[in-house]
Amino acid sequence: MQDRKQQLIVALDVPSFEEARQLIDKLKEDVDIFKVGSQLFTACGPVVVRYIAAMGKKVFLDLKYHDIPNTVASAVERAVALNQQTHTVNNELYDPKEHGIFMLTVHILGGKEMLKAAKEAALKQSKELGVLNPKIVGITVLTSDASTTNVLDIVLERARLAKESGLDGIVASSQEAAILRQEFGKDFIIVTPGIRPLGEKSQDQKRVTTPSEAIKNGSSFLVIGRPIVCATNPLNAAKEIFKEMNNI
């Protein structure tokens, strides 16, 4: 049975560093990748990214950059610079080429020039600093969008633009993953939010699938928040999701 730990990203959608730290400490036994989004990053900034890295874990920085090319490139450079080793936890060293921000998001709607600028900035900065070069994935359609009109066509069009611009992959619903995988091949990253374990309510996510469905459909990474973060025992919840991911 394949180990799915490197495919699960736990979304730290909490309002404070202390809450995030407690979750990381509870989950670090089994979880290797954590998502830091706009809520948490706005609350505590780079400290949470550096803490995750210092624990020997990886960060999916989900800030959805969307601005003029130069501004986005500059933001990506600063994100990559967060992978520099500046402090340790419990006097343990971590490898800046292996841990830290391993993937970040940009909006595909920003256009080809912006997407190319983001990718080039990440590559240049990581080489200069000798740190992990993050994969860059583009946002296609948000999973909270209830509209079903031409969603697949829109996702495919934006995915093509992402690939043509040199991005490593996209963020898309598992409902489109099978066709995306067929269209763009095995190496194209498909990050899937809106994952709900069997029996869980979809809440504000409109286009959701279960962990096993997402894996079957070809998703590379599954982003899961509330089913783990809000569980009475987050680690047990994560273990149950691993079981579902393997149930294919």
> Above 70 in pLDDT, residue 4?
yes
Dump pLDDT digits (tens) for 156-187: 999 999 999 999 999 999 889 999 999 999 99
What are the residue numbers of the active site?
64
**Nearest residue to 213 via CA among 184, 247, 170, 172:** 247
What mean pLDDT comes out for the span 123-147? 89
Question: What's residue 142's pLDDT?
Answer: 78
What mean pLDDT comes out for the span 12-21? 97
Our measurement of the distance from residue 241's CA atom to the centroid of its chain's CA atoms, rounded to an integer in Å, reads 17
Strands (E) in 19-133, as ranges, are 33-37, 58-65, 100-107
CATH superfamily for domain 5-246? Aldolase class I (3.20.20.70)
Dump pLDDT digits (tens) for 58-117: 999 999 999 999 999 999 999 999 998 766 555 565 778 888 999 999 999 999 999 999
Rounded CA-CA distance 169/139 in Å is 9
Per domain, the residue ranges of the chain are 5-246
> Above 90 in pLDDT, residue 247?
no
Q: Which DSSP string corresponds to 195-227?
A: B--TT---TT-SS-B-HHHHHHHT-SEEEE-HH
Share the mean pLDDT of the chain: 90
Question: What's residue 47's pLDDT?
Answer: 94
Question: What's residue 204's pLDDT?
Answer: 47
